[in-house]
Amino acid sequence: MADGGAPGWLGEWAYAHRGLHDENTPENSLAAARGAIAAGLGIECDIQRSSDGAAMVFHDWELGRLTGENGATTDRTAAELGQLRYLNNEQQIATLPQLLDLIDGQVPLLIEVKSKSGYDVGPSCEAVAAALSDYSGPHAVMSFDPRVGRWFARHAPQTVRGLVFTEDGRRTLRTRLRLHGAIRHARAQFLAYDIRDLPSPFAATHRVKGVPLLTWTVKTSELRGRARLYADAPIAEGAGLAMTQGIN
């Protein structure tokens, strides 16, 4: 069960996955955010933590795919990361405060905090919470890691929190128990569900109970139609965003 209610705006928007990006506009860049704002779309972004504890708007644990640089994202300082340009582009890696300054409440923002096994996610949560402390625009934090929601429930309960989840095609009792436990631990107020798992009896049960259900990553018109039927809002890119004005 979700802990407390979630705001209505969560289900009233379509969200550009990592901003409105394409072959000329890097994912998670400020240019991708500008494009989403101009298109009237909400924005979903990813957060990695720099070596000096800053919240960086970047997806990958390694720098190579997006910048051509060697090494781990978490081994560079915020200043060092901020100097890196995306491949074949002049855009540079942004901090979360820079992204918030750009959005300035114009559209909602979903912030996915990256985590993995053995990673201390607490400092990432602290960095995100610090950036959000004086931000009044609509926003929510989410993660595959239920510790993120738990941290915000304890330390920044005013921040809307969600759980990102995939069933990995396994609709077993073990999967249901794992998700039940993760929702309780995260004190999640909404779910962001893998579109490949929809329709899902588990997701539908929680949606009927009033838990907003977002779905990712909607990349085709067929998946867009599925999202309209079985979720409250899509996190989408490419053809999944074509002619999308929200799905309520």
Mean pLDDT of the chain: 94
The per-residue pLDDT for 3 is 54
Domain membership flag for residue 191 = yes
Domain membership flag for residue 129 = yes
The model's pLDDT over 17-62, given as tens digits with 9 standing for 90+, comes to 999 999 999 999 999 999 999 999 999 999 999 999 999 999 999 9
Token readout for 162 is 């969600």
Domain membership flag for residue 25 = yes
Domain membership flag for residue 3 = no
Domain membership flag for residue 36 = yes
The per-residue pLDDT for 2 is 47
The per-residue pLDDT for 174 is 86
Domain count, the chain: 1
Judge whether residue 121 has pLDDT over 90: yes
CB 19 within 8 A of CB 118: no
Judge whether residue 70 has pLDDT over 60: yes
pLDDT band at 165 (very low <50, low <70, confident <90, very high): very high
The model's pLDDT over 214-238, given as tens digits with 9 standing for 90+, comes to 999 999 999 999 999 999 999 999 9
Report the predicted TM-score, pTM, of the whole model to 2 decimal places: 0.95
CB 138 within 8 A of CB 9: yes
Helix 173-186 crosses helix 201-208 at what angle (to 10 degrees)? 40
**For range 65-82, the mean pLDDT:** 98
DSSP assignment letter at 114: P
Domain membership flag for residue 246 = no
Q: Report the distance separating Cα 23 and Cα 39, nearest Å.
A: 17
Domain membership flag for residue 247 = no
The per-residue pLDDT for 107 is 98
Judge whether residue 86 has pLDDT over 90: yes
Judge whether residue 243 has pLDDT over 80: no
Q: Report the distance separating Cα 99 and Cα 77, nearest Å.
A: 18
Judge whether residue 173 has pLDDT over 90: no
Q: Report the distance separating Cα 38 and Cα 20, nearest Å.
A: 10
Q: Which residues contact 86 (CB under 8 A, 6 or more apart)?
A: 26, 29, 66, 67, 92, 93
Identify which of 169, 206, 168, 179 has the alpha carbon closest to the alpha carbon of residue 190.
206
Domain membership flag for residue 78 = yes
Q: Which residues contact 113 (CB under 8 A, 6 or more apart)?
A: 47, 121, 124, 125, 128, 141, 142, 143, 145, 148
Token readout for 66 is 């997006």
The per-residue pLDDT for 244 is 55
Its domain, for residue 221, covers: 8-241
pLDDT band at 193 (very low <50, low <70, confident <90, very high): very high
Judge whether residue 116 has pLDDT over 50: yes
Judge whether residue 245 has pLDDT over 70: no
Question: Which is higher by pLDDT, 77 or 242?
Answer: 77
Q: Report the distance separating Cα 21 and Cα 26, nearest Å.
A: 6
Residue 126 maps to which CATH number?
3.20.20.190
